[in-house]
Structure 1
Amino acid sequence: MSFNNDVKSIMIVGVGGQGSLLASKLLGHVLVSEGYDAKVSEVHGMSQRGGSVVTYVKYGSKVYSPTIDPGEADYIIAFELLEAARYIPFLKKGGTIITSSQHIDPMPVITGAAAYPEDIAGKIKAMDINLVQIDALSLAKQAGNAKAVNVVLMGVLSKFLHFKSEIWSKAIIECVPAKFLEFNQKAFNIGANSSL
C-alpha cells in the first residue's frame, strides 16, 4: 500500500459512559488492518458518567505521538453538541465536525449554575466550519439500543474515510462482545447509510 506522509488526526469527544473507548478501538482496528501506523490515546477526562472525555486517533505512514494539538484535527467526532463546541479550537482549517444532535446537560446546567447554550449548531456553522449533524440517538434506538450512538457515529465517519465496509464489519466483530454484536452492526449500517 502506498502512503503519503500526511498524518491524519481524529478526535472522539463525548461524555463519560457514552462509549468513546469502543469507538476509538473500532477505528484503531480498521486503520491497523489497512496497514497504517495508528496511535490511539488513552481516554482523557472524567471517564465516569457525566464528565467530558476525549480520545485521540492519529494515523499515517509513521506516527510519533498520539496527542493532537490545537488546529490539528481533521475530524472531530462528538457524541453531544456542547462537546463538539468545546473542542473547536482543535479542528484544523477545512476540518469536519461530525456530531450527534443530542443535548446532555453538564453538571453546571444540572445544578442550575448555568444554562445550556442556545443554537450551538448555528454558531458552529457561522464560524465557517464543516458541520455534519445527525440525530444519532434516534438512529441508535432504531438499531435496537440507545447506547449505540458511538457506533452510529462511526458509521457516519466511514462515509468520509472510504475504507471498505467489510473492513469495518470485521473490526466490529473483533471489538464487540457477541451478545452486543447484532445491534452494533445494525447501528453502524444505519449510520453509514444515513443521508447527510
Structure 2
Amino acid sequence: MSNVKSVMIVGVGGQGTLLASRVLGSAMLSQGVDVKVSEVHGMSQRGGSVVTYVRYGDKVYSPIIAQGEADVLLAFEALEAARYLPWLKPEGTVVVNTQQMDPMPVVTGVAEYPKDILGKVREQGVKVVALDALGMAEEAGSSKAVNVVLIGAMAKKLDLPKEVWIDTIKETVPSKFIDMNLKAFELGYNADV
C-alpha cells in the first residue's frame, strides 16, 4: 500500500460501528500499516448518528476524512448511507445494510422515512453493495452481528487477505462469540451482491 485509503463507518448508536472500526484498524495494524481512527459520537445513546473515520496507508497524518475523500462508506443503515454520501469519492463504494431504522422525527410523526433511498444513492453513480445484514446476522446467531456481516462484505473491497480478517475477529471479539462472528463474517464475505 503506497497511498492512504479512507473508510467512513456510519450508523446509529448501538449498532456496533465502534467494534467495526476496531476490527478494521486492528486488521490494518497487524499488517504493519499506519492507521488513524477517529470516532464522532452524536446522540449515539439515543439512536443518533455515529461516525467513525479510519484512514490507513504508509503514513497517515490525520484520521479526519473530508468530503469527497472516502474510498469506502460502510453504512449500517440506508438513511445514514444517503446522509454521508457526500464524503465518498466519485469512484468509491458504499457497503450498506438494507435495514431501515426510523430516526426520531419519523418516530414522532413529524417526518416520513424517505422512499427508495438506495435507488437515490445508486443514481449518484457510485458502486453500491447492499445486503440484508440484519437477516444474515440473525442467521449467524444474533442480530448484534450486523457489524461483522458488514465487515465481511467490505473485506472483499479492501486489500487484505481473508485470513487477516478472520484472525483479527478472533482477537477482537469475546471468546464466547467467536464462532457466531466468524459465521457472520463468512455470510457477509460470501454474499452475492
Does TM-score exceed 0.5, indicating one fold? yes
Q: Is 2:123 aligned against 1:126?
A: yes
Q: Which residue of the other structure, out of 132, 135, 138, is the alignment partner of 1:135?
A: 132
Q: Does 1:53 align with 2:50?
A: yes
Q: Does residue 61 of structure 2 align to residue 64 of structure 1? A: yes
Is the aligned partner of 1:9 residue 2:6?
yes
Is the contact made by 1:21 and 1:43 (CA closer than 8 Å) also made in structure 2? no
Runs of at least 5 residues in structure 2 that lack an aligned partner in the other structure: none
| Matching residue of 1:114 | 111
State the secondary structure of the residue aligned to 1:116: coil
What is the aligned-residue identity percentage? 58
- Runs in 1 of length 4+ with deviation above 2 angstroms? none
Within 2, Cα distance between the matches of 1:46 and 1:61?
34
Structure 1: gaps spanning 5 or more residues: none
- Confirm whether residue 179 of structure 1 aligns to residue 176 of structure 2: yes
Deviation, 1:49, is 4.3
Q: 1:30 matched to which residue of 2?
A: 27
Structure 1, residues 111-168: CA drift from partner, whole Å, max 9, x if none? Answer: 0000000000111111212111111111001100011111000000111113122211
Q: Take 1:183 and 1:12, find their aligned partners in 2: how far apart are those partners?
A: 22
The aligned amino acid for 1:191 is: G
The code of the aligned residue for 1:173 comes to K
Instruction: Map Cα deviations across residues 38-80 of structure 1 (whole Å, 9 max, x no partner).
Output: 1111243222141110000000100000010100000000000
Question: 1:168 & 1:127 partners in 2: Cα distance?
Answer: 30
Q: 1:165 aligns with which of 162, 165, 178?
A: 162
CA deviations over 1:25-46 (Å, ceiling 9, x no partner): 0000110111110111124322
Task: Name the amino acid aligned to 1:69.
Answer: A
Q: Is the 8 A contact 1:75 1:98 kept in 2?
A: yes
Q: Is the 2:38–2:63 Cα contact (8 Å) retained in structure 1? A: yes
**1:39 partner letter:** K
Give the TM-score normalised by structure 2: 0.97
Q: Provide the C-alpha distance between the structure 2 equivalents of 1:42 and 1:54, rounded to a whole number of angstroms.
A: 6
Contact 2:90 2:125 in 1 (8 A): no
In terms of mean alpha carbon deviation, does 177-186 or 76-85 score higher? Answer: 177-186
Match of 1:92 in 2: 89
- Tell me the CA shift for residue 189 of structure 1: 0.9
**Any idea what SS the aligned residue of 1:57 has?**
strand
For the residues of structure 2 that align with 1:127 and 1:173, how far apart are their CA atoms?
37
- Aligned-pair RMSD on alpha carbons? 1.0
Q: Is the 8 A contact 2:42 2:48 kept in 1?
A: yes
